[in-house]
Amino acid sequence: MLPADFEDVTGPALDLPSTWRTSVPMAAAAAQTDPIQMTHQRTQEPRVSTLGVQTGMEEDYGDAATMPLVNTQFVESSELTAFLLHSTPMLEEQLLRNVSSTAFDEHDVSWEEERDSVECMHSLKHRGPLWASAPQNPFESCTCVAWNASGTVIAAAYGPLDRNDWALNESMLCTWSIMRRKLDPAKADVALQLQDCLTSLAFHPQEPALLAGGSFNGDVLVWDLGADDDKLLCKTVLNAYTHHEPVQQLTWTKLPGQGYVLCSVSADGKMLVWSPANKLREPLLGFRLPPASKTAGKAMIEGGASVAFSHEDPTTFVAGLEAGQLMKCSLIANELRTAEVVRMQRSDVPWSAAAAGLLTRVPASHYHRLKLRVEKEAVIAKEREVVPRAVFAAQPEPAMLFGSPATFSYEPHSGPVYCTQFSPFHRNVFLSVSTDSSVRIFNALAPRPCHVTEPCVGSLFAASW
């Protein structure tokens, strides 16, 4: 069979006309649709933040049912719990006292107004009637000022500041209650006549009406300003165991088992501790502030000028002397024997704690002989126990009875130290000021000052935190 052989052939075009259609029909038509509705809309996705958390391992908490929901990082402390249990009753007591206090009832507080300057509200000077024998100018100078515990009464004592000998003129003690609506700056609420001018004043820390004063001749006085008749509560009697020079400063401190006691520092170098409970008949304790010093064979008296007690330990204090020395002292320092040892020793008459405390610093060479003399005086006075009055009746030498309380010495000033004060914010910080124009801040554990400044070229007599 032969294979096919095809190929394109190009030839003339053929037209085959239709035998039945003679024309092609045509028609025109139009169509319309509704308009298409179109809208535009914008969308925005929210922001996304990533946060990671970390949980503790289950084995760190043991049982998963006891795992804490929140980790506060708080660790219970037995010391904190004990502190809160001790301080909460005192805090609640103070809050209750503040609620019942009327000290600021008439005071309007302005929270928006700020005062950049100090304004003098009152100038207090008594101009009322005086006693018949009053000196020509009893208000020559204000020698000392003190505020009471509630901050409502101010006391001021008057007298000359340029005396070089014993006082010959009388003076006055005036008090004003500044919270009274009818306060009269020219008329004191209380005006007391004094036989001698005062050199120091100190109100009781808790009794607003109890005021103590130290005089130029060495007397220590206590007044009850709330009394109706005689306001003088008690007064010391001059003897070998009291002050013989002006009382430079008075301060109150609290002793365990005895409550608040009054401490006086004098220019004769003695520091004495008094109690209003025994009407200031004799001191509870006595000290010689400076150590005995001799110049050319003669004993020199270095008088005390200031004293400040610690806020944490009421038996610890800092004393400043007229010669510029600063010393850390204690009411229980340098004891050769305790009061309990004195009381436990064999004796015919039992000893009181106050009387035994006076013999804790007596040298051993004089102790037994003095103890027998004191017991003899107690028997003669028909006392049931040995009291401080019997100790002083035995008439021991003051130097034998009054020891030194100094335990540490600081870098001295070059002038009298008329003010020392412990910081209320730190237990080991105190300041001192002197007539050498310097203010020094000490750490009680270091002999040199932490900071020294000289705010002026004149003498400095007082400072406060």
Question: Mean pLDDT, the chain, as a whole number?
Answer: 83
pLDDT of residue 296: 46
What stretch(es) of the chain map to CATH 2.130.10.10? Answer: 293-334+405-465
Q: In what order do the strands lie in the sheet with 247-255?
A: 247-255, 259-266, 270-274, 285-288
What are the DSSP calls for 255-271, one per residue?
Answer: ETTTEEEEEEEETTSEE
Q: Which class does domain 293-334+405-465 fall in?
A: mainly beta
Average pLDDT over residues 70-92: 83
What are the DSSP calls for 108-159, one per residue?
Answer: PP-SS----S----------S---TT--S-TTS-EEEEEE-TTS-EEEEEE-
Average pLDDT over residues 428-451: 92
Distance CA 443, CA 447 (A): 8
What stretch(es) of the chain map to CATH 1.10.8? Answer: 335-402
- pLDDT grade for 91, boundaries at 50, 70 and 90: very high
pLDDT of residue 2: 66
Q: Is the dihedral of CA 393, 397, 401, 404 positive or negative?
A: positive
Per residue in 206-247, pLDDT tens? 888 899 999 888 899 999 988 888 889 999 988 889 998 889
Distance CA 266, CA 259 (A): 23
User: 173, exposed or middle or buried, with CB in 10 Å at 0-12, 13-18, 19+?
Assistant: buried
By mean pLDDT, which of 99-103, 339-343, 395-399, 411-415 is the weakest?
99-103
Diameter of the chain by CA atoms?
180
Distance CA 153, CA 406 (A): 35
Task: Identify which has the larger pLDDT, 38 or 442.
Answer: 442
Per residue in 348-383, pLDDT tens? 888 888 888 888 888 888 888 989 998 888 889 888
Half-sphere exposure of 220 (CA within 13 A, CB side): 31
In the chain, the amino acid numbered 303 is: G
Say yes or no: domain 335-402 is CATH 1.10.8.
yes
